[in-house]
Structures are given as C-alpha cells and as structure tokens.
C-alpha cells in the first residue's frame, strides 16, 4: 500500500461503486445497438459496452441499469448526472465534444449516413433525388448532413422531420417520403426488420457523412473516463491477441507477455486505472472481444448482416486501433 | 474538482442553423441562415396551423353546440355523439390517427385525387388555387409526372394537425356554446316573448348577447388550449415552434436556452390571445348593456 499510486476516484466512479450499478443511457430501440429484450435486459453492441464497463469496474456485467433515451433527452440526461455513461449510437463531432461538457470516450462503430429508397422509384444514386422529400429523425447529425449534402449538389431536398426514430421510418414505408435517411447501420436495421418487404427497398451507394459512434461521459471525472475508455480498448486488444470468450480461460497460462498483462498474470495494469488485476479478463469473459460483439449483434450472426468494413482491426485494413495496454 | 457550468447565453442564435426546414409557409429559408430565423419560421408555422384551426374549431363548435340544443332528436343525438367521442380520446392519438390515415390511404402524388376543379389531394398534401401576382392571376395546380405542381399546397403533416386540432377543440367549444346558451334564464326569453318580440329578435337581441358574455371566459381557455396543443405537431413531423426548437436544442446542445425560449414564446402567444379575448369580452359587455 505504501507505494501504491491507486488513482483517486472521482465522483462518478465513486457513485458507481457505491450504487453497485452502472447507469447506462441507451436508445429507445435500435436493433443491433441497443434494443430491449425483456424488462431490464437489453441487447446490442452499445449495450455490451455498458456490460464490459460493469464487468471491469464492478466485477459483474449484469450490474447495469438501462435508461432508454430519445435523441433529445440523451445529452440532458448525461449533463444532469441521471446516467453515468451514454452508450447510444451518438456521433462524435466538434460541437458536441467541445460545448456540452462531455468527453467522447472512443469510437465503437465507424458509421456513415446513407439513403434508403423504394426500388420502384428507379433511383440508383443519391444525386438523382432532386426535389425529393426525405424522412429524417429530429435532433440527429443526420439533419445537418442532409442540408449540407443538398446544398453541395443543389438537390433541394425537403426534410420531413419526425420526433422519433419509429415515426420517421413508418412514414417512409407508408409512402410519405421518397427517401429515408439515417446512419447506414440504422438503414440496414430498418430495412431488414421494419420494411413490409425488404426486397422492395434499396440502400443507395453514397455515404454522405462520417459518423464515428461512441459512448460519452461527463467531464470532471478523469478516472471514470479512463476506466470506460480502457474497457473499450481491452475489447479491441483482446481481438488483436486472439482472446475470445471461449478460449480466454485456457489461454491464461500463455507465456506471451502481452497476454499475461491482459489477463492479470504479469504486471498489474488494473491498479493504474483504480481497478483490480483481472479487469480485462472479466470483460472478455462477460462479452467476448470486439469482433465477437460485432458479429453477434450487427454482423453475420445477426439479422442485420452488416459487413465489418471500417470496423475491422487495423491489422486487417480497418480503423480499429487500440493503444497498447502496457 | 472541475465543475462544468452550463452558462446561459443566447449568442448561439446568430449561428447558421445548419438544417433545412421542410415547410416554411412562404418564407425563404436555407441552412445557412441564422438559428433565430429558423425559430421564427417555427413560430410562423405554429401560427399558420393554429389560426385556421381556431377559426374552424369556433365555427364547427358553434354548429355542434347549437345541434346539442336542438329540439330535433337527430341533430341533438349526432352532436352529442360528436362531442362525447372526440373529447374523450387523447388529442395525440387522434393526431396520429389522422396522420397515418392520410399517408396510408391517400394515393401517391403522381396519381392525386381530383376533389374539385383545381383541388388535388394525395400523400404529397392538399394543393389548391392560389393568388400569384407575379404570374398575373390565379395559379391553378395541375397533375404532372411525379406530383402536383402549381397553386399552393399544404403537407399531410399540416392537414393532420389542422384537422385534429380543430375537430378536437370543436367538441369543447360546442360544450361552451351549449352551456352559455343554457345559462340565459328562461324568464328572459319569456319576458321578451311577452313583449311581442319575434323568434329572431329573441335569439339575436336577447339570448345570444347574454350567451356570448357567459361564453367568453371559457372560450378564452379553449383558444389558449388550442394554441398550446399545436405543439403536439412535433409527433407527426410538422416543423412548428417546438419541433424547430428541439432541433436547435440538439444541434447546439443549449438545452436550457432553447427550452426557455420556447416557454417564453408560448407565454407571449398565450398572453396575446388572452388580451384579444378580453378585449372581445369587454366589447360584448358594452354591446349587451346598450
């Protein structure tokens, strides 16, 4: 204890420990990212981030309480301290990063905005949408990107802005708009799950924006920020090291120093974060590595069947590059 | 420990809005114009939908209210059915019902219904003739390849909000009218009849002026309710004050400022409406006492 440099926990992390629960803000239901399964059981990529953090900090991935938030409520909920962590497909932008009193933690999904159109419209490119009415959800970066795109190519697009995610695509499928726009991942989810007949609809090839999605925390507790950030990096590092939910127990004895550090056999990495030695081991046991989470919720093991694309590890040509755990 | 303070400042209103508005009601707006102009268009959209709805609600409400007082059973029962079915279902439910009815059941904009000469109805909205001085006369809408062009048009969102607001409020107005007429003592009518007044004189010179006076205060409430209820428009994507305010709130992150602005605006709108209603009420008192 004498030489220990245990990070002094800030108010959020202290609160999480006292409560024995991570309060996580999620969406009101986006399949693949965060969607309710039963009363207090949620499922999805964003949800697994919450579970990974709970596993690291509290030792149990189930110690999470979920608060469904719409696009308008999400920031106020985090500002007011109603939630500890906002893990709700939120795009990292300068305005949000610099003006809301939050820190973006890391990118958990690289997305981009696209368009969904009915095939009978006989449109193959977003540039052909001149004068079209476009259904969009209120309070998203999508609204601004749509305006930018319309101006850049002089398309005179008319937004029809809906309060909820559901109302926007319902109106689109009812024929109110010629196109529907949201992040590409959302388009796939809506097309596969909500379209009367998915084959009647086409996702246009253009990606009109960068949408780096990731969780946010409130400023003022750097220890909490670090714990959440490194929980996410641990998910990526595990994939890079080839550690999975199934094999991590067996590979605990692997002599590779990187694996030893990861599972808590070597140097104590957890101490610097104010956590114990096995924080990362517990994360992988709880949720699997990032690749497993991806495939389970949005990839080939899910109804969305989204390609890994930009979300592959850097070693496989993607953008996911965790800083080293050492 | 650093504490993040959310400072109240309205500077952000001068920033470019960065988002387009689907409906501007004749104003020109694009994303490069400042946020405060977007908010003003939101306010104008609120007024643009609540004023016609108000007029319709008063007219329809008066007719239904008279129906409730009718001695004939058929109009009386119909009016009763109207009032009881409309005022007992939440407005939001009615609004969504109207909206999804409109966009599910109407034909696509390229095969619009021709209701009347120059009036077309489709998923794209209701198009009607409009005075266009630059074209030198009335502009008549006509069916073209993809949609109806020309004239003026309102969107299905606008229609749903206007129709649901006016039909819903009319149920309450009808009750106000009925109560007001019923509040005139029967003795007044009998006295007028004894003096030899005709049926029309009794109605116009005796009953209505007094009923009008009794109706003013509850009618003011209905007017205020209607204006405030128009904020439900946000549910169907009509860009009213709340919808634009919410978008501004999200894009800028200025929660308290935007909420405060919306509250102040509704407060002023309601204040103005009360003032007008009070003036009308005072006028009716002087008329009645003459």
SS3 content of chain B, % helix, strand, coil (to 5): 70, 10, 25
Distance (Å) from the alpha carbon of A226 to chain B's nearest alpha carbon: 16
In this prediction, residue B3 carries a pLDDT of 46
Distance (Å) from the alpha carbon of B234 to chain A's nearest alpha carbon: 6
Residue A17 at interface with chain B, using a CB cutoff of 8 Å? no
Contacts of B155 in chain A (CB under 8 A): 160
Residue of B nearest to A160 (CA): B22
Residue A128 at interface with chain B, using a CB cutoff of 8 Å? no
In this prediction, residue B287 carries a pLDDT of 56
Q: How many CA atoms lie within 13 A of A141 on its CB side?
A: 19
Picking from B100, B110, B253 by the largest number of A CB atoms within 10 A of its own CB, the best residue to mutate is: B253
**Which among B1, B124, B251 is the nearest to A10, CB-wise?**
B1
User: Residue A2's pLDDT band (boundaries 50, 70, 90)?
Assistant: very low
**Which among B3, B104, B250 is the nearest to A72, CB-wise?**
B250
In this prediction, residue B47 carries a pLDDT of 95
In this prediction, residue B145 carries a pLDDT of 59
pLDDT (tens digit per residue) in A220-252: 999 999 999 999 999 999 999 999 999 999 999
Selected residues 80-99 of chain A with any CB under 8 Å from a CB in chain B: 95-96, 99
In this prediction, residue A9 carries a pLDDT of 65
In this prediction, residue B7 carries a pLDDT of 58
Residue A171 at interface with chain B, using a CB cutoff of 8 Å? yes
Q: Closest Cα to residue A133, out of A161, A170, A101?
A: A161
**Which among A10, A143, A164 is the nearest to B247, CB-wise?**
A143
Instruction: Provide CB contacts within 8 A for A106, sequence distance 6+.
Output: A214, A215, A229, A232, A233
Contact A144 B2 (CB under 8 A): no
In this prediction, residue B249 carries a pLDDT of 83
Residue A203 at interface with chain B, using a CB cutoff of 8 Å? no
Contact A160 B234 (CB under 8 A): no
> Is the pTM above the cut of 0.95?
no
Distance (Å) from the alpha carbon of B30 to chain A's nearest alpha carbon: 8
In this prediction, residue A311 carries a pLDDT of 95
Contacts of B2 in chain A (CB under 8 A): 219-220
pLDDT (tens digit per residue) in A8-18: 567 899 999 99
Could you tell me if B164 and B50 are in contact, meaning their C-beta atoms sit under 8 angstroms apart? no
DSSP string over B147-177: SEESSEEE-HHHHHHHHHHHHHHHHHHHHHH
Residue of A nearest to B256 (CA): A76
A178 vs B168 pLDDT, higher one: B168
Instruction: Provide CB contacts within 8 A for A61, sequence distance 6+.
Output: A51, A52, A54, A55, A282, A286, A287
User: Average pLDDT of chain A?
Assistant: 90
Selected residues 126-185 of chain B with any CB under 8 Å from a CB in chain A: 155-157
Residue B253 at interface with chain A, using a CB cutoff of 8 Å? yes
Please state, in angstroms and as integers, the Cα–Cα distance from residue B22 to each residue in A160, A225, B107, B157, B242, following that order. 5, 39, 21, 10, 14
**Which among B6, B22, B104 is the nearest to A174, CB-wise?**
B104
Picking from A10, A93, A122, A160 by the largest number of B CB atoms within 10 A of its own CB, the best residue to mutate is: A160
- For the cut 70, the answer to whether the pLDDT of residue B265 exceeds it is yes
In this prediction, residue B109 carries a pLDDT of 75
pLDDT (tens digit per residue) in A25-46: 999 888 889 999 877 789 999 9
* Domain spans in chain B, listed from the N-terminal domain onward: 16-94+163-289
Selected residues 217-246 of chain A with any CB under 8 Å from a CB in chain B: 218-220
pLDDT (tens digit per residue) in A73-101: 888 899 999 999 999 988 898 888 988 89
Residue B2 at interface with chain A, using a CB cutoff of 8 Å? yes
pLDDT (tens digit per residue) in B138-193: 878 877 655 677 778 888 999 999 999 999 999 999 999 999 999 999 999 999 99
Contact B22 A160 (CB under 8 A): yes
Residue B108 at interface with chain A, using a CB cutoff of 8 Å? yes
pLDDT (tens digit per residue) in A104-148: 999 999 999 999 999 988 899 999 998 888 999 877 788 889 999
Distance (Å) from the alpha carbon of B113 to chain A's nearest alpha carbon: 16
Residue of B nearest to A163 (CA): B235
Contact B234 A163 (CB under 8 A): yes
In this prediction, residue A1 carries a pLDDT of 36
In this prediction, residue B273 carries a pLDDT of 93
Return d(Cα A39, Cα A17) in angstroms, integer.
23
pLDDT (tens digit per residue) in A195-220: 899 999 999 999 999 999 999 999 99
Return d(Cα B80, Cα B74) in angstroms, integer.
10
Residue A157 at interface with chain B, using a CB cutoff of 8 Å? yes
Return d(Cα B190, Cα A90) in angstroms, integer.
72
Within 10 A of A155 (CB to CB), how many other CB atoms are there? 18
pLDDT (tens digit per residue) in B217-259: 899 999 999 999 999 998 898 999 998 998 888 777 788 889 9
User: Residue A59's pLDDT band (boundaries 50, 70, 90)?
Assistant: very high
Contacts of A219 in chain B (CB under 8 A): 2, 4
Return d(Cα A187, Cα A134) in angstroms, integer.
13
In this prediction, residue A4 carries a pLDDT of 38
Does CATH number 3.40.50.880 belong to domain B16-94+163-289?
Answer: no
**Which among A138, A157, A168 is the nearest to B246, CB-wise?**
A138
- CA A252, distance to chain mean position in Å, is 29
Rg (CA), chain A: 21
Distance (Å) from the alpha carbon of A71 to chain B's nearest alpha carbon: 8
In this prediction, residue B286 carries a pLDDT of 61
In this prediction, residue A7 carries a pLDDT of 46
Return d(Cα B256, Cα B252) in angstroms, integer.
11
In this prediction, residue A99 carries a pLDDT of 84
In this prediction, residue A144 carries a pLDDT of 87
CB–CB contacts below 8 A, A to B? 108
Q: Closest Cα to residue A283, out of A324, A239, A217?
A: A239
Distance (Å) from the alpha carbon of B249 to chain A's nearest alpha carbon: 8
Least confident segment among A2-16, A168-182, A308-322: A2-16
**Which among B1, B22, B243 is the nearest to A158, CB-wise?**
B22
Instruction: Provide CB contacts within 8 A for A140, sequence distance 6+.
Output: A71, A182, B250
Residues in a beta bridge with A111: A211
Contact B237 A163 (CB under 8 A): yes
What number is the average pLDDT over the span B127-144?
A: 78
pLDDT (tens digit per residue) in A270-298: 999 999 999 999 999 999 999 999 999 99
pLDDT (tens digit per residue) in B90-110: 999 999 999 999 988 888 877
Residue B20 at interface with chain A, using a CB cutoff of 8 Å? yes
Distance (Å) from the alpha carbon of A23 to chain B's nearest alpha carbon: 20
């Amino acid at each position: 204890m004498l030489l220990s440099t245990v990070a002094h926990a800030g108010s959020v992390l202290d609160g999480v420990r006292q409560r024995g629960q991570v309060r996580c803000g999620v969406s009101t239901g986006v399949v693949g990212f965060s969607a309710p399964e039963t009363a207090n059981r949620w499922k999805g990529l964003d949800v697994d981030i919450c579970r990974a953090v709970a596993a690291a900090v509290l030792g149990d991935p189930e110690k999470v309480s979920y608060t469904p938030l719409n696009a308008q409520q999400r920031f106020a909920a985090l500002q007011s301290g109603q939630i500890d962590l906002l893990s709700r497909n939120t795009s990292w932008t300068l305005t949000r990063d610099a003006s809301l009193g939050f820190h973006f933690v890391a990118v958990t999904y690289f997305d981009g905005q696209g368009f969904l159109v009915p095939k009978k419209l006989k449109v193959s490119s977003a540039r052909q949408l001149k004068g079209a009415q476009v259904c969009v959800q209120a309070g998203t970066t999508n609204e601004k990107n749509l305006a930018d795109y319309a101006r850049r190519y002089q398309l005179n697009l008319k937004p029809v802005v809906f309060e909820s995610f559901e109302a926007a695509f319902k109106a689109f499928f009812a024929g109110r708009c010629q196109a529907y726009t949201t992040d590409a991942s959302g388009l796939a989810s809506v097309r596969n799950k909500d379209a009367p007949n998915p084959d009647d609809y086409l996702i246009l090839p253009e990606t009109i924006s960068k949408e780096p999605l990731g969780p946010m925390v409130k400023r003022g507790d750097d220890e909490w920020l670090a714990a959440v950030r490194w929980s996410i990096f641990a998910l990526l590092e595990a994939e890079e090291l080839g550690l999975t939910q199934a094999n991590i127990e067996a590979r605990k004895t692997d002599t590779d120093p990187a694996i030893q550090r990861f599972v808590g056999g070597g140097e104590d990495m957890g101490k610097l974060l104010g956590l114990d030695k096995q924080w990362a081991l517990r994360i992988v046991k709880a949720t699997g590595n990032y690749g497993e989470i991806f495939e389970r919720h949005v990839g080939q093991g899910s109804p969305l069947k989204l390609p890994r694309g930009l979300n592959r590890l850097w070693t496989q040509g993607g953008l996911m590059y965790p800083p080293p755990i050492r | 420990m650093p504490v993040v303070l959310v400072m109240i400042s309205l500077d952000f209103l001068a920033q470019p809005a960065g988002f387009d508005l689907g409906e501007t009601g004749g104003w020109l707006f694009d994303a490069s114009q400042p946020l405060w102009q977007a908010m003003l268009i939101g306010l104008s959209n609120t007024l643009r939908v609540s004023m016609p709805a108000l007029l319709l609600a008063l007219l329809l409400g008066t007719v239904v209210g008279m129906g409730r007082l009718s001695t004939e059973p058929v109009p009386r029962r119909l009016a009763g059915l109207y009032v009881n079915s409309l005022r007992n279902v939440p407005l939001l439910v009615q609004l969504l019902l109207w909206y999804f009815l409109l966009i599910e059941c109407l034909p696509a904009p390229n095969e619009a219904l021709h209701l009347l000469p120059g009036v077309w109805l489709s998923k794209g909205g209701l198009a009607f003739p409009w005075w266009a001085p630059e074209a030198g006369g009335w502009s008549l809408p006509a069916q073209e390849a993809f949609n109806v062009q020309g004239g003026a048009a309102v969107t299905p969102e606008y229609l749903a909000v206007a129709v649901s607001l006016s039909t819903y409020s009319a149920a309450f107005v009808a009750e106000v009218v009925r109560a007001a007429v019923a509040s005139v003592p029967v003795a007044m009518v009998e006295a007028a009849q004894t003096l030899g007044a005709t049926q029309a004189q009794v109605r116009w010179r005796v009953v209505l002026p007094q009923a009008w006076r009794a109706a003013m205060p509850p009618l003011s409430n209905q007017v205020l309710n209607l204006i405030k209820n128009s904020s439900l428009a946000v549910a169907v994507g009509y860009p009213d004050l709340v919808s634009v305010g919410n978008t501004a709130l999200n894009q800028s992150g200025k929660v308290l400022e935007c909420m405060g602005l919306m509250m102040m605006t509704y407060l002023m709108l309601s204040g103005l409406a009360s003032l007008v209603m009070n003036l009308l009420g005072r006028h009716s008192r002087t008329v009645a006492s003459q």
